[in-house]
Amino acid sequence: MKILICLSNVPDTTTKIKFTGDNTQFDAAGVQWIINPWDELALTRALEIKETSGTTIEKVTVLTVGKADTEPTLRKALAIGADDAVRIDAEPKDAYQVAAQITGFVKEQPYDIILCGIESSDYNGSTVGGMLAEFLDSPSVSSVSGLFLENGQIRLNREIDGGQEVLETMIPFVAIVQKGIAKEPRIPSMRGIMMARSKPLTVKPAVAADELTGFTAFELPPPHAKCKMIDAENVGELVKVFRNELKII
């Protein structure tokens, strides 16, 4: 079996967010780029499955749709342990366009298990994984917090409002993963970093794909009003707020 992990390249989660061009563009100056946290967990889980299931998993590939500046992120994924990397040479603009790019590649080179993250931490789309599944006409399971391969059978845990479900699925399929899929993201070892240099990173040309959406403007939330302080000896004041203002008691 082959596993594909779709990676989005996002600003480090502590980045101070600024915009340029009259608030029409994200200001990428000085930004530290990372693998989207959920995608990093997905990669970690794929490697765990590969290591514990004998020879069942032939390879773990990572893929990103992006320009050349996303290659360090792919190299990092290789250093963590992916076998090879693919970059589709297109500027990601819209989920429909990105999913169509990935579809073009997967139709040419099929994978049994495709993993996407629940959302990119930049534009919080939660969209590409589901769109990809529909383009491929594959089953999809989302909010996946556990993925297991036992005797060639796939088991998944899915988070639902108010509990958890256990599912099985046919192959190929798309899993859209979230927290819980792996405990901690793996970090590259020195040896991993050395080996990553000689692992294949293939660049594929973009296919024709439509963009159906685009961000036209941004704004920062209004500055926060100053916190009103209540004396610790006088919690009754807070209870008054509960009753009169917030109406929760």
Partner 1 sequence: MSVLAFTENWDGKFKKISFELVSYAHQLAAQMNTNAVVVSIGNVPEEELKKLGHYGASKIVRVEDNRISGLINKAFTAIIAQVAEKEGADVVVFSHNFTGKALAPRVAVRLRAGMASGVNALPDSLDPFVVKKGVFTGKAIGHITIKSAKKVLTLFPNSVEAIEADENAVIETFTPQLSDAHFATKVLEVKKVTDKVLLTDAEVVVSGGRGMKGADKWAPLEELAGLLGAAIACTRPVSDEGWRPHGEHVGQTGKIVAPNVYLAFGISGAIQHLGGISASKHIIAVNTDKDAPIFEAAEYGIVGDVQQVLPKLIEAVREAKKQ
Ligand X SMILES: Cc1cc2nc3c(=O)[nH]c(=O)nc-3n(C[C@H](O)[C@H](O)[C@H](O)COP(=O)(O)OP(=O)(O)OC[C@H]3O[C@@H](n4cnc5c(N)ncnc54)[C@H](O)[C@@H]3O)c2cc1C
25, 56, 197, 215: which one binds partner 1 (CB under 8 A)? 215
Interface of this chain with ligand AMP, residues 64 to 83, rule: CB under 6 A: 64-66
The span from the first CA to the last CA of the chain, in angstroms, equals 56
The first and second tokens of residue 169, run together, are 């699925």
Q: State the DSSP code for 246.
A: S
> Does the footprint of partner 1 cover residue 230 (CB under 8 A)?
yes
> What is the rounded distance in angstroms from the CA atom of residue 216 to the CA atom of residue 112?
37
Binding mask 82-111 for ligand AMP (x = CB under 6 A): ----------x--x--x-------------
> What is the rounded distance in angstroms from the CA atom of residue 105 to the CA atom of residue 224?
45
- Cβ proximity to partner 1: between 194 and 241 the closer is 241
Q: Which residue is nearest to ligand AMP (CB)?
A: 117
> Does the footprint of ligand AMP cover residue 129 (CB under 6 A)?
yes
Give the count of beta carbons closer than 10 Å to the beta carbon of residue 54: 7
- Cβ proximity to partner 1: between 179 and 197 the closer is 179
- Cβ proximity to ligand X: between 184 and 210 the closer is 184
19, 59, 89, 93: which one binds partner 1 (CB under 8 A)? 19
* Smallest separation (angstroms) from ligand AMP to the CB of 24: 19
User: Residue 4, class by beta-carbon neighbours within 10 Å (0-12 exposed, 13-18 middle, 19+ buried)?
Assistant: buried
Instruction: Decide: 207 and 104 in contact? Cβ < 8 Å.
Output: yes
Radius of gyration of the chain from Cα atoms?
Answer: 21
Q: Residues in the site for ligand AMP, rule: CB under 6 A?
A: 6-8, 36, 38-39, 63-66, 92, 95, 98, 116-117, 119-120, 125-129
